[in-house]
């Protein structure tokens, strides 16, 4: 990680359904949760499981540490429990953080792109598009309109990509690992790290494509400063 930064009450890039890593004061094991809602006063999350192990710790003022990944950046902040409810669902209301820490995961600038892609997992297939790419990974968007069913991806699952790069005959196969996941009813977004065993041919094509994009952008800036 690099480029550690701190800033006061600014947008913290939270989206409904975002997966959160949770540490609770007095609880030895790390836990996971899902973001349910957010406003200027509270962050609302689903109560982590197993509930029986943490029920006695869910008292007002209990300190929490929340971590999550958004667009290649790890965000972390401390907060306190304001309220917990049981009905209509088990939810926790956390105080909106005053200070947020962020750490950049990406070592390379991402190049914007639009590359039609097929994504495969355990015999299932989705059609999507790559919207940015580096030599180390990419960002993929999958729309429900283009697929009968969205695959239930999970963090750290290995997937296969078949990408149609412009100017290249056939499709380029790439192995990847899901590192970031956001979804709603209409679409799914995946942050993907390329697997270490990606072929030399695939690496060469990705490098050529990124170089082509960067050269084009540079030339456009020279023409239209």
Mapped onto helix, strand or coil, the DSSP state of residue 57 is helix
Given a cut of 70, whether residue 12 has pLDDT beyond it is: no
CATH number for the domain harbouring residue 14: 2.30.110.10
Q: Name the domain boundary from 59, 85, 104.
A: 104
The single residue listed with the structure tokens 């094991």 is 29
Give me the number of domains the chain comprises. Answer: 2
CATH number for the domain harbouring residue 159: 2.40.10.220
Cα–Cα distance, 38 to 212 (Å, whole number):
41
> In this structure, are 115 and 216 located in the same domain?
yes
Q: So what's the pLDDT on residue 222?
A: 45
Domain that holds residue 176: 111-220
> In this structure, are 71 and 8 located in the same domain?
yes
Given a cut of 80, whether residue 182 has pLDDT beyond it is: yes
Measured distance between the N- and C-terminal CA atoms of the chain, rounded to whole angstroms: 33
pTM of the model as a whole: 0.53
> In this structure, are 99 and 116 located in the same domain?
no
Confidence of residue 3 (pLDDT cuts 50, 70, 90): very low
Is there a domain that residue 225 lies in?
A: no
CB 151 within 8 A of CB 119: yes
């Amino acid at each position: 990680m690099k480029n550690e930064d701190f800033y006061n009450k600014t947008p913290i890039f939270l989206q409904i359904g975002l997966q959160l890593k949770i540490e609770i004061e007095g609880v030895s094991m790390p836990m996971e949760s899902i973001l349910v809602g957010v406003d200027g006063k509270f962050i609302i999350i689903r109560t982590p499981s197993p509930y029986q192990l943490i029920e006695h710790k869910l008292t007002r003022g209990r300190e929490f540490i929340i971590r999550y990944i958004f667009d290649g950046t790890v965000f972390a902040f401390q907060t306190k429990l304001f309220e917990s409810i049981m009905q209509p669902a088990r939810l926790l209301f956390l105080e909106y953080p005053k200070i947020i820490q962020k750490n950049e995961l990406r070592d390379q600038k991402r190049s914007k792109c639009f590359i039609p892609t097929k994504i495969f997992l355990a015999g299932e297939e989705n059609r999507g598009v790559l919207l940015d790419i580096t030599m180390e990974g990419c960002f993929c968007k999958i729309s429900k309109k283009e697929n009968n069913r969205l695959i239930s991806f999970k963090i750290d699952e290995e997937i296969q990509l078949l990408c149609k790069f412009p100017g290249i005959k056939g499709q380029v196969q790439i192995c990847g690992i899901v590192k970031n996941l956001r979804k709603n009813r209409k679409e799914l977004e995946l942050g993907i790290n390329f697997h270490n065993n990606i072929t030399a041919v695939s690496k060469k094509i990705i490098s050529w494509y990124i170089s082509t994009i960067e050269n084009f952008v540079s030339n456009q800036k020279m023409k239209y400063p």
